[in-house]
């Protein structure tokens, strides 16, 4: 029964990735304009997720004697990994020689790739947490699922916007979002098979790398894109949406 509840819960959480379906009835140009607005929200959501949820969790579960240096190096290592991946992907697509501007006719496969990479790792961790929580108790499993579900809604909204911004079509963005979200099912299955050891291993290694990747994606890729429009209106609008993204992630701490 525990296995069924855990798998059912992670499937429901994975289906949140279909949030992009609400845009299918809209014209492609309108979706891309909306996506440019949500990029600001994605910046706040990614940074809020990293600094409010992931990084505090990393230091909370590690031994105090080893946590500061080891965890910090893994977080920085995650930023370097995402930097290297983006460089390699950009080089293969000629991106090293082409300036990038906030224009959707320019495709940025490297931006989509690093976002999907971070999302895959993050969703895998969510799946492990759901599975490990159900192993502890059904009640904890349900509350953890609710927390992850509330957390995934703004996260998936931001991910969808990033994929659209990178030049993908709406349908492809929805498909890739769902595919990366489905990795959570694998995480839950492995947690159920391995028990509490899986949660400890994931938290110690993959969580810091994910946090570093999210910080890199927001700071190195998305914020520079927002700097192209230097009008006062853009400043107020973008700052407000970044703050809202951070606030949403902050409010989710009450459900942890």
pLDDT digits (tens, 9 = 90+) for 206-250: 778 878 888 988 898 889 888 888 899 989 999 999 999 899 888
Integer Cα distance of 170 and 148 in angstroms: 25
Range of the domain at 55: 2-19+28-255
**Mean pLDDT, all residues of the chain:** 79
For residue 229, the Cα-to-chain-centroid distance in whole angstroms is: 25
- CA of 70: how far to CAs of 67, 188, 201, in Å? 6, 26, 14
Both tokens of 249, joined, read: 């992630």
**Rounded-to-integer distance, Cα 20 and Cα 160, Å:** 7
Q: Which of 203, 218, 208 is nearest to 42 (CA)?
A: 218
Q: Can you say how many angstroms the Cα of residue 122 is from the centroid of all Cα atoms in its chain?
A: 6
Show the tokens assigned to 232.
């006062």
Q: Which two tokens stand for residue 230?
A: 């230097």
The shares of helix, strand and coil residues in the chain, as percent rounded to the nearest 5, are 85, 0, 15
Token pair for residue 229? 């429009």
Q: How far apart are CA 60 and CA 249, in angstroms?
A: 18
Lowest mean pLDDT, pick from 115-119, 129-133, 181-185? 129-133
Q: Enter the pTM of the model.
A: 0.70
- Dist. CA 146–CA 13, nearest whole Å: 9
Question: What pLDDT shows up at residue 183?
Answer: 93
Structure tokens at 220: 């190195």
Tell me the mean pLDDT in the region 2-9: 90
Name the band, by pLDDT with cuts 50, 70 and 90, for residue 27: confident
- Mind listing the pLDDT tens digit for each residue in 137-158? 787 688 778 777 766 776 787 7
Q: Establish how many alpha carbons lie within 13 A of residue 130's alpha carbon, considering only the half-sphere containing its beta carbon.
A: 32
Output DSSP code: residue 64.
T
**How many structural domains are present in the chain?**
1
Report the C-alpha gap between 31 and 16 in whole angstroms: 18
- Residue 180 CA to residue 120 CA, distance in Å, equals 5
Q: How confident is the model at residue 90 (pLDDT cuts 50, 70, 90)?
A: low
Q: How many residues does the chain have?
A: 256
């Amino acid at each position: 029964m525990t296995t069924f509840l855990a798998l059912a819960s992670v499937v429901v959480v994975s289906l949140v990735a279909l949030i992009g379906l609400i845009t299918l009835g809209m014209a492609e140009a309108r979706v891309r304009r909306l996506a440019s607005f949500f990029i600001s929200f994605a910046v706040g959501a990614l940074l809020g997720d990293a600094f409010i949820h992931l990084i505090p969790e990393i230091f909370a579960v590690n031994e105090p004697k080893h946590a500061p240096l080891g965890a910090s190096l893994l977080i920085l290592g995650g930023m370097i990994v995402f930097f290297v991946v983006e460089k390699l992907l950009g080089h293969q697509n000629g991106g090293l020689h082409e300036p990038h501007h906030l224009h959707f006719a320019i495709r940025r496969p490297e931006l989509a790739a690093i976002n999907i990479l971070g999302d895959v790792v993050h969703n895998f961790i969510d799946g492990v947490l759901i599975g490990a929580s159900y192993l502890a108790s059904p009640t904890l499993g349900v509350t953890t699922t609710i927390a992850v579900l509330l957390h995934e809604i703004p996260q998936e909204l931001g991910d969808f916007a990033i994929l659209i911004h990178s030049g993908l079509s709406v349908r492809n963005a929805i498909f890739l979002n769902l595919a990366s979200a489905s990795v959570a099912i694998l995480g839950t299955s492995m947690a159920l098979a391995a028990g509490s050891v899986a949660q400890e291993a994931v938290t110690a290694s993959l969580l810091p790398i994910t946090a570093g990747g999210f910080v890199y994606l927001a700071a190195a890729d998305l914020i520079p894109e927002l700097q192209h429009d230097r009008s006062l209106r853009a400043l107020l609008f973008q700052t407000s949406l970044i703050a809202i993204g951070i606030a949403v992630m902050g409010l989710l701490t009450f459900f942890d």
